[in-house]
Each structure stands twice: as structure tokens, then as C-alpha cells.
Amino acid sequence: MEFRVLGLVDAQVAGRTLDLGPAKQRLIVAILALEANRPVPAERLVELSWPAGAPRSARNAVQVRISRLRSLLAAHDAARYGVELATQSGAYQLRLDPARVDAHRFAVLVAQAREAAGDEQKVALLNHALSLWRGPALTGVIDDAVREQVCRGLEEGRISALEELFDAELRLGQHRELIDRLAAAVQEHPFREQLVAALMLALHRSGRTVDALRTYRRTRQRLLDEYGLEPSIRLRALEMEILRDNVAPLTDGSSALAPVWLGRRPGHGGPGGRRGWSGTGGPG
């Protein structure tokens, strides 16, 4: 029995997908899975299920959904897999091996990648970790009003792993092969300086210095237009190194540029954004 939250929220038993019920019921599963083996107060589940304001019947509705989930787990012999949905002191707890939750497996794989002996192993582990993502976390169960609160840490973990993967692949000399993937990543996350730096390096080392400098200028203009800020000193220094054709090679363990946000728009992350798992606690 496995629980998946990195994309559509579901559970699987012997390769079969279980019907976990309506969105609010699947949200409860997702929160409890992220908080595996830790009690989650009923009030927290109410708050996340009805962010705009809970009805008077909300707590009872949560209890009904918990009861239905218990019945579902019992019907699929959850105890056989060491899975239990417990109640204690007004809180609920999903007891299981954290490895049965994709978000926890992702965190373990990324940690192993950071301890890897070489970049080939690091790339394999990070690719495995990122393959667990099937779309935005908690797809289809979470209100936009609480998405940042609950999913920001999950998404930050994914992007950081992607940045580390690109760095390792650059160290392995895969500059030309990375350009399209890096360009797509920068388009999706235009204010991730780490990704911009990696794309600039890949372009420059592939003989496309003009495109590398154009990438810098485009990022700078977008940053000025949206935030009224200049790029960081480190990104400006990389531009100068490219202009002078004096870019130092990446060495084992080094990165294109230390991960950092370039700007902050209220409600959209930015400098000082928490690393790890935000909102509900989650893997860590």
C-alpha cells in the first residue's frame, strides 16, 4: 500500500489505484500522509478543508470522512501493510512506514544524492527522486488560498533537486544536451537565479555565448520591470566572466551559482522563502 501526493492524490495497493473519495477526503489523506506518524489536530484539517470559513458542521464532517477512510483501509487489509489511521486526543495520525509515501521517498532520495560519491550516482538518484513527481503537489484537492501554505515547501524541494541535477550534469560535461531542458525550466521559473546561471553556462560552453548573454539581459530586464531590482552580484559576476571568456570549470560538489531567489512578489515566494516542507510540517 502506497500513498501518492506528488501530483494527483491517490493510494495504490498491488498496482491498483484506490478510490479515496471526494476532494476534501483526499485532502485529509494527503495531509496525514505528509505528516506520517505525527498527530494532526482536527482543527487543522477543518482549517485546510474550509479556508474561507468552516461551517458549524465542519468538525463532524471531518469525523465522517475519517470514518470512511478507516473503512476503506480496512477493506483493503491496510493492517497487513502496517498502515493504521489512529485517533488520539482530538487529533488523527496515519501510522505507517514513511517510505510508503512518495513525498518522503523523494526527500530520502535527495538526501542520498547529496551524499553520493560521484556525479553519475548523484544524477541517477536525483532523476529517480524527480520521477516521483506526476504534476503539482496535491493536485485536485487543495484550494488556491492554501496552496502556498501547504505546498510551497514541497515545490521548493522539487526545484532545488532540479537545480542540483542540472549542476551535476553540467559537471559531467552535458552542456549541449541540457540546453532545451534548462530553457524550459527558466521559462517556468524565471526568477530562479540558479537555473538562469546554469542555462548561461550551458549556452556559453556550447559555443552560444551571444545567447548566454541574451539570457542574462532578458532576466535582468524582467527583474527590473517586475521588482525594480538588479540581479545579484553573483549573476552579474557570471556575466562578466562570460564576456571575458574566463568562466571557471565546475568542480566536484560545486554549483553554477548558489540557489537564491531574485525577487519577491507578495504571496509568490521570494528571498527568505523557507526550505523544506512548509505549512503542515511534512517530510524533513
93 shares a domain with 106: no
166 shares a domain with 53: no
107 shares a domain with 91: no
Residue 19 lies in a domain: yes
Q: What is the 3-state secondary structure (H, E, C) of 205-262?
A: HCCCHHHHHHHHHHHHHHHHHHHCCCCCHHHHHHHHHHHCCCCCCCCCCCCCCCCCEC
Residue 271 lies in a domain: no
Q: Is the pLDDT of residue 165 over 80?
A: yes
Q: Which residue has the cell 524527480?
A: 130
Residue 202 lies in a domain: yes
- Nearest partner of 188 among 216, 236, 165, 155, judged by Cα: 155
pLDDT average, residue stretch 37-64: 93
- Taking residue 282's Cβ as centre, other Cβ atoms within 10 Å add up to 25
Residues contacting residue 24 through CB under 8 Å, at least 6 positions apart: 49, 61, 65, 141
200-225 residue pLDDT tens = 999 999 999 999 999 999 999 999 99
Residue 22 lies in a domain: yes
142 shares a domain with 64: no
- Nearest partner of 121 among 195, 156, 194, 171, judged by Cα: 171
72 shares a domain with 51: yes
Residue 279 lies in a domain: no
Order of strands, sheet of 2-4, starting from the edge strand that comes earlier in the sequence? 2-4, 10-13, 16-18
64 shares a domain with 160: no
Number of independent structural domains in the chain: 2
Q: What is the 3-state secondary structure (H, E, C) of 58-98?
A: HHHHHHHHHHHHHHHHHHCCHHHHCCEEEEECCEEEEECCH
Rg (CA), the chain: 22
Q: Decide which of 81, 98, 115 is a domain's last residue.
A: 98
Q: Decide which of 98, 120, 155 is a domain's last residue.
A: 98
- Residue 199 belongs to a domain with what CATH number? 1.25.40.10
Grade residue 31 by pLDDT with cuts at 50, 70 and 90: very high
pLDDT average, residue stretch 57-76: 95
Residue 116 lies in a domain: yes
Record the pTM: 0.85
Instruction: Report the mean per-residue pLDDT for the chain.
Output: 88
**Percentage of residues in the chain with pLDDT exceeding 70?**
88
The domain in which residue 230 lies consists of 102-243
Residue 281 lies in a domain: no
Q: Is the pLDDT of residue 275 over 50?
A: no
pLDDT given for residue 146 in this prediction: 81
127 shares a domain with 192: yes
Q: Report d(CA 206, CA 270) in Å as an integer.
A: 31
162 shares a domain with 31: no
108 shares a domain with 94: no
Residues contacting residue 21 through CB under 8 Å, at least 6 positions apart: 65, 68, 69, 72
Residue 266 lies in a domain: no
108 shares a domain with 74: no
- Residue 27 belongs to a domain with what CATH number? 1.10.10.10
Q: Is the pLDDT of residue 115 over 90?
A: yes
Q: Is the pLDDT of residue 265 over 50?
A: no
Q: Report d(CA 275, CA 225) in Å as an integer.
A: 27
Crossing angle for the helix pair 144-171 and 175-188, nearest 10 degrees? 160
